[in-house]
Amino acid sequence: MPDRSGSQHWLVGVLARSGTEIPPDLEVPVRTEARDAWERVARATGISFDELTRLVAAHHRLEVADLTTGDTRVLRLVPDSFARKHQVLPLQETDRELTVATSDPTDLEVEQGLGFASGRTPIFAIAAPEALKRAIDKAYSPNHMMASLLEGIDDLDPDQVRLVESTEVEKVGIEEAEAEPVVKLTSLVLRDAINQRASDIHFEPGRDGGKIRFRVDGVMRRHMQLPMTALNRVLSRIKIMGNLDIADRMRPQDGRARIVVDKKEYDLRISTVPTREAEKAVIRVLSSVTAMGLADVGMTKPEFDRFTKILGQRDGIIIVTGPTGSGKSTTLYAALRDLATEDVNVMTVEDPVEYEVKGITQIQVEAKRGVTFASALRAILRQDPDVILIGEIRDRETAEVAVQASMTGHLVLATLHTNDAVGAVQRLIDIGLDRPSIAEALRGVLAQRLVRRLCSYCAVPADLPLPEEEGILSARQGVTPSKVAVGCDECGHTGYRGRLPILELLTVDETIRQLVVKEASTNEIRQAAIAGGMRLLEEVARDPVIEGLTTLTEIARELGEPEAVLRPELDEAPHILLVDDDAVNRTLAKTLLAKNGFRTSEAEDGQEAVTLLSGPHSFSLVVLDLDMPRMGGREVLKKIRRTVATAGLPVVVLTGTHDKDSEIELMDMGADDYIRKPIDPPRFVTRLKAALRRAGG
């Protein structure tokens, strides 16, 4: 028989060298995939997969893989996507080597990839392709991975987060989305968001994994990072809760749900959009509580007095303006609560109905049913209302009906999207209203922003010298703050808790009416309004700073300030927390990481590390020493793994011990890797990069 070894698959060569008789018609080209090659050879020769496995292992002087005794802790060393793509399964590991099951030990590219991913030298063990695939599917089961992520987190009472509205959806993927680990993780995220007073929850896919962020007091905070396999299942669970199509990931969808958390009801507004990587979801959290009154909103006194005076009128339009999330609806609801007395008929048209207010009739816009702002407003006019709230004036039709209502003895409250109070006039003109109608109907415009309120638990008097940014702003604006932010557990270590409004109120008097009709410019109207008592946002913002309710830095963040003053922390580079009581070790590690483009923060002991991890900073990885004062590394590791926000955070332990039992204990506790002291610079950086890659996968 002619020598065809150069054109045949390596598996045929293994058989030939073992003395096995090879059928003359057996053709297995060199580039045949391993699974197909094994099947062809076994079928042609009659050799079982077990025997073929032993022949391949003996030829390459490797072990036969025992797929039943794999160490599940080492799965985190090789990302799911890599293992499935190349059909490899990590089995055992040491500080320097990683034993991996494969059916193709000749693939050098895979060998190099394994070393790159794990930071260890790969050692192959042989397994037949079909058995290997089953073992990989079982080991990397998404529900198994999520259960591992939640291991040790048992602080959720099953009745603590409960879906109120039952939903029915098609059966596509429903079993995975309603698996216990998925339901538990979703409930934990919802509970944490509500406990942290989040207004929105963002589920964001990415090339390096997914992350969940909360918007608290108007500012985004990273809550946790997840593998994409876990995030996708959480997204499916959320879509089921919102009665959305979980099989359709190509179109935006909107839904809603109602849950009970700690015996309080919350409405969830769910929005999904397809992205380049997968699908993103945002949940708006609305508390089903009664709205507060104007006196509880936190207005500055001059604006409060002038606004309540305008509300005393019984006709005309009062508009509240500002960007999305500036508290317009909250202010209007507070006004409604004060207006809704027994002798007044109040009705609203909203999308959505955010607060339930006793004594008023609230109508939800439902475009699919023909209930729009304009059509609902026309129907309301036949219900003999005294006060009407329009959630938003979006088009000419709605604006014209609102003006008609205001001119026939109704007080109309509405929102509009403009940057300042005077800009509302031009916005109404752009929508299509004529100037005489605007001048006759408009009674006042309240422009609003929200700034974070200083935490009452930790704010301290502003002693000199002030913090750098606050000092620059104080000198520039000539305003001396009363208090400065510190940070504590109550405010999530941000220094702020809650928000307060900054208001700019335009009162439409005869002078303003004439300017509107005469087509005066926006600047001319603004100057006349200031002469009539209107204070601009920047001027009003000084009052709460002087009173110690907020800071100049926070005012500048919301109203704007040159970049030279405010330098927000860049979020592109991975952020690593170094926890070690040895200053020399920290300095060496920090220098190495800085040279490789990482950001670092330092903690001198475990207690400081726990404080930093519970604060506003988001970390990509923790380097953790074991023996430290106040709180040791083992206790820190336990806290990280038992907190849902950090359960998926990679932790690399620095250890001076060579005791194998100690290393096994650490991996059992949830460490992703361990590095021996003293620090070997190339190995240290390589292992941290590998841990970050695995977390992203």
pLDDT, position 145: 64
What global pTM score does this model have? Answer: 0.71
Quick: pLDDT tens for 643-695.
Answer: 888 888 899 998 877 777 777 788 878 888 888 888 888 888 888 888 887 77
Using the structure block, give the residue that is written with the tokens 């060998």. Answer: 111
Decide yes or no: CATH 3.30.450.90 for domain 149-287. yes
The sign of the dihedral angle between the CA atoms of 22, 24, 28, 29 is positive
Answer yes or no: same fold for 294-451+499-541 and 575-696: yes
Name the residue type at position 186. T
The answer to whether residue 477 scores a pLDDT higher than 60 is: yes
Model confidence at 115, in pLDDT bands (50, 70, 90)? Answer: confident
Fold of 10-140: GMP Synthetase; Chain A, domain 3 (3.30.300)
Supply the DSSP string of 326-373, one letter for each residue.
SSHHHHHHHHHHHH--TT--EEEEESS--SB-TTEEEEE-BGGGTB-H
Strand order in the sheet with 575-579: 599-603, 575-579, 621-625, 651-655, 673-676
Handedness of CA 567, 573, 578, 584 (dihedral sign): negative
Identify residue 84 by its one-letter amino acid code.
R
Q: Which fold has domain 575-696?
A: Rossmann fold (3.40.50)
- The band of 154, judged by pLDDT with boundaries at 50, 70 and 90, is low
Q: What is the pLDDT of residues 230-264, one digit of tens each?
A: 888 899 999 999 999 888 888 899 998 999 998 88
Which has the minimum average pLDDT: 42-51, 72-81, 205-214, 300-309? 72-81
| Region 294-451+499-541: CATH code | 3.40.50.300
Question: Among residues of the chain, what percentage have pLDDT more than 70?
Answer: 91
pLDDT at 167 over 60: no
Segment 57-73 mean pLDDT = 84
Structure confidence at residue 146 (pLDDT): 66
Q: Domain limits of the chain?
A: 10-140, 149-287, 294-451+499-541, 575-696
With cut-offs at 50, 70 and 90, classify the pLDDT of residue 565.
Answer: very low
Q: Where are the beta strands (DSSP E) in 179-315?
A: 198-204, 210-216, 219-226, 253-261, 264-274, 279-287
> Confidence band (pLDDT; 50, 70, 90) for 487?
confident
